[in-house]
Amino acid sequence: MEVGFSSLNCINSSLHSSFYSWLTQVQDQDSSRKPHHIHVQAICNNCKAKNSTNAVRSMTTSPSHATEREDGEEESKTTKEVVQGQTLTENLKFLNKAVMEPAVHPMLECTVKEVEEVKIVTRILPIFMSTIMLNCCLAQLSTFSVQQSATMSTMLGSFKVPPASLPVFPVLFVMILAPLYNHIIVPFARKATKTEMGITHLQRIGTGLFLSIVAMAVAALVETKRKKTAFKFGLLDSAKPLPITFLWVALQYIFLGSADLFTLAGMMEFFFTEAPWSMRSLATALSWASLAMGYFLSTVLVSTINKVTGAFGHTPWLLGANLNHYHLERFYWLMCVLSGLNFVHFLFWANSYKYRCSTKPGYTS
């Protein structure tokens, strides 16, 4: 069963990665300078500058050498003045070398505008990395959560609900929450913060990441309750449905659905508005890349946990024919801890982030 879910996750990751690659290839033609070109140019110029400094220090001082050094310093000052005149910012100074020194190859030549655009994309990447863990949590909705509900009572009156239809719960909840968000939460936030946006993009992402922590804690508690019910009624080794409603599992669907609503909307708006105009297709593709990498990370985590927990003759946490003998609650608690660490990582970068149109810190503005 787990092999099948892992295969589905890998296929899903591959499809989204292919979509991401296609979007990257069709980005606007006037974005001819790729970000990695500027990074390479900056690295080469930094290495060249270090070598030049070492060579000057090793030379014996003489009038001719002093004259050459003075000429070089004057030329450096002139170059710096020209660069400053083109509004080269002080953040990520490492990349400034890409335009402050001559290019080592014609293909690596770039302008100040291109360097500034690469700086923006570079500052976006830590936020992008913070969203991968959320998508890793979302991957559980189509794997272990379905298995959990299959062992529980899925009756609603006289109607039997198929366990695989559980993902409809977050969809229904989002359909209810989205209008409330637009017509109640956002207007209230605008009045409270006295800003047009009300809730910033990073605040939306942060809210979603926090809800993912709550969702994993709820999932662990529900799984503990499910296993206690199986033990209480002596159904640990039985294939009969447990006398507990599957609606308990729906709780984690609701929290993760809410987390997806806040984070996905905030993430796409953040990437699209903050990215340079010539790189917006690349920035939009980041949201899909995050989804693909999250599903792939889920597969890696499950495989790694099974190998580590089964290395010394013990039963792997997430392997076997009977879900009642799994240690799924431990896995959910681990996901909760990892999501918490990821949230701290997000706060670190979000608090220091400055929007392109504002000088206030990104998360607190």
Q: Look at residue 166 in the predicted model and tell me its pLDDT.
A: 86
pLDDT mean over 245-269: 90
Is the pLDDT higher at 287 or at 55? 287
Q: Which two tokens stand for residue 282?
A: 């690349």
Assign 332 a pLDDT band (cuts: 50, 70, 90): very high
Rounded alpha-carbon distances, angstroms, from residue 210 to 94, 139, 258, 291: 33, 17, 10, 17
For residue 325, what are the CA distances in angstroms to 230, 321, 336?
A: 10, 9, 21
- CA distance to 49, 218, 240, per residue, from 121 (Å): 25, 35, 53
Q: How many CA atoms lie within 13 A of 225 on its CB side?
A: 15
Residue 358 near residue 365, CB atoms below 8 Å = yes
Closest CA to 130 of 343, 340, 348: 343
Query: Which of 1-5, 112-116, 162-166 has the weakest average pLDDT?
Result: 1-5
For residue range 7-49, what is the model confidence (pLDDT) as tens digits?
444 444 444 444 444 434 434 434 444 565 666 556 665 665 5
pLDDT surpasses 50 at 107: yes
Mean pLDDT over 295-302 rounds to 96
Please report which helix (H) or strand (E) contains residue 244, including its range.
strand 242-245
What is the CB neighbour count within 10 angstroms for residue 140? Answer: 23
Residue ranges and CATH numbers for the domains of the chain are 2-31+120-352 (1.20.1250.20), 35-110 (no CATH)
What is the torsional sign of CA 315, 319, 320, 322?
Answer: positive
The separation between CA 8 and the C-alpha centre of its own chain, rounded to angstroms, equals 21
**Hey, what amino acid is at 348?**
F
Interatomic CA distance for residues 21 and 31, integer angstroms: 16
Question: In terms of DSSP bridges, do strands 159-160 and 155-156 run parallel, antiparallel, or are they unpaired?
Answer: antiparallel
Cα 217 to Cα 207: distance, rounded to the nearest angstrom: 16
Round to whole Å and give the CA distance between 324 and 223.
Answer: 10
In this prediction, residue 51 carries a pLDDT of: 53
Q: Can you tell me the distance from the alpha carbon of 103 to that of 111, in angstroms, rounded to the nearest whole number?
A: 11
pLDDT above 70 covers what percent of the chain?
74
Phi, psi for 275 (deg, rounded to 5): -70, 150
Confidence (pLDDT) at 362: 45
Residue 64, C-beta contacts closer than 8 angstroms, at least 6 positions apart: none
Q: What is the mean pLDDT of the chain?
A: 78
